[in-house]
Structure 1
Amino acid sequence: MSDIIFSCKAYCKIILHSAKYPYCSINGVLLAKPSKSKELEFVDAIPLFHNALNLTPMAEIALTQIDQVASSQGLVIAGYYTAHENIRESSLEKAHNRISDKISENFTGACLVVVDNRKLSCQLDNVALKVAQFNDGKYKPVDVNRIILDPGHTLDVCTSLLEQRSYKSLIDFDNHLDDISLDWTNCSLNNEIEEIK
C-alpha cells in the first residue's frame, strides 16, 4: 500500500464540511491526480451531503457532475470521506456504503476516509482522519504514519479557517440542490485557502 497525501485544500475542506454540520453525518468525494507511483495524492475534496447520505438519485447526479469537472481538470474521483453524526464514532466499518463501493470499482487503490471527531478542536494539532485503502477486494486500514499532509503547515491553515468561521461559506451538494445558484465547486473557498497558505 502507498502513502496517502492530502493537499491543504482537500484536508481543509473535509474538516470545514464537518465543522459546518457538527450535528449531522456528512460525506463527500476526494479528487486525485492519476499517478503510477506508489503515492496517492488527494488534491481536492468535493462536499456532497449532510441531510441524507444515501439518496441514490441525488448521488448519481452529483457524481456525474463531479466526474465531468474532475475530468476537465485531469483529475479522478479516488476517495470517499465521511464524518459520523455521533462524536464518539469514527469507525471505518460503518462508513462503507454504495458510493465508496462505486469508487473502488473505478479506481484501483481507492480510499475510504473517516473524520475522527475526537481529534477536532479549534486548535488542530493532529491529523483528524482515519483512512482505509481498497486492496485485495476490501478496504484495509492505513497506518497513521502513512497519512501525510502537504504542505507541512496544513493544520495551521485549517485552524485559521476555523477561527474565521470559513465553514459558513462552504457549499455542499445538498446546498446546491436547494439553490442551484450556489457553487458546489467552492471556488471562493478554494481561493481563501490559497491566500492563507
Structure 2
Amino acid sequence: MSEITFSARAYCKIILHAAKYPHCSINGVLLSKSSTTKGKEIEFVDAVPLFHIALNLTPMAEIALMQIDELASQNGLVISGYYTALENVRDCSFEKANHRISDKLTSNYPSSCLVVVDNSKLGIQMDNVALKVAQFVDGSYKLSDTNRICLKPDTTLDICSQLLEKNGHNLIVDFDNHLDNISLDWMNPELNEEVDNLVAIYN
C-alpha cells in the first residue's frame, strides 16, 4: 500500500501553526521532492504556513505561492499539498476545507493532498496523528485510509509534544506575520533548526 508520509518538520509546523492561532482558521502548503511526482505515494518534507487572518485574500495568496514556488524549485521541491485547521474546534470536514489553492495544486501535482487538522486530537501530549488527509484521485479529492498516513521518524509525535510544552508555537512565522514585518522569515529557519535538533536527539 502506498503511503502519505510527513516529515517531523512538516508535521510539527502544521500543528504549531494551529496551536498558535486556536481562535482562527489557518492554512498553508506542503512541499515534497520534485522527483516523486508519479503515483500516489508522497512524502511531505516541509510545510509553509500561509495565513491566519483572511484565508481567501486571493492576491496575497498568489504572491505567497509565487515566492514559495520559486524557493522550493531552487531546492528541488514542489508544492504538493494544502493544509488547514478550521476555526470551529469541532469541525474537521473537507467540505469547508477546500480552497482555490488546493484546486490549483492538482494542475501542477496530479496526486496532491488536502490535509485537515483534526482538532479533537490536539493537546500538549500528542498521542495520535492529528491529521485527516484526502488525495486527488480520478478528478476529485478522496479521503485516504488512516493506515496510509505515517510520520518520519517514528518519534515525530514525541518531538511535537516537546515543542508544544516549550511553547514552540511562538516561533512559527506565517505569511501574515511576514506581511506585518518583512524581517520575519516565513521559511522558519529557527524553528526548522529546533525540529532538526530534536530529531537528532530522539534518534
Q: TM-score of the superposition, structure 2-length normalised?
A: 0.95
Structure 2: which amino acid aligns with 1:59?
A
1:91-117 residue CA offsets vs partner (Å, 9 max, x unmatched)? 012100101001112111000000000
How many Å separate the matches in 2 of 1:102 and 1:47? Answer: 17
Q: How does 1:34-183 map to 2 (within 5 A)?
A: 34=34, 35=36, 36=38, 38-183=40-185
Contact 2:40 2:111 in 1 (8 A): no
Deviates further, 98-107 or 110-119: 98-107
Secondary structure (helix, strand or coil) at the match of 1:10 reads helix
Residue in 1 aligned with 2:13?
A: 13
Deviation at 1:32, TM superposition (A): 0.4
Residue in 2 aligned with 1:26?
A: 26
Which residue of 190, 193, 201 corresponds with 1:191?
193
RMSD: 1.0
How many pairs align?
Answer: 197
Structure 2: which amino acid aligns with 1:78?
S
Structure 1 segments, 4+ long, off by >6 Å, are: none
How many Å separate the matches in 2 of 1:96 and 1:151? Answer: 29
How many Å separate the matches in 2 of 1:195 and 1:151? Answer: 13
Unaligned regions of 5+ residues in structure 1, if any?
A: none
How many Å separate the matches in 2 of 1:37 and 1:83? Answer: 27
Unaligned regions of 5+ residues in structure 2, if any?
A: none
Contact 2:10 2:44 in 1 (8 A): yes
Secondary structure (helix, strand or coil) at the match of 1:148 reads strand
Secondary structure (helix, strand or coil) at the match of 1:95 reads coil
How many Å separate the matches in 2 of 1:143 and 1:190? Answer: 29
Secondary structure (helix, strand or coil) at the match of 1:94 reads coil
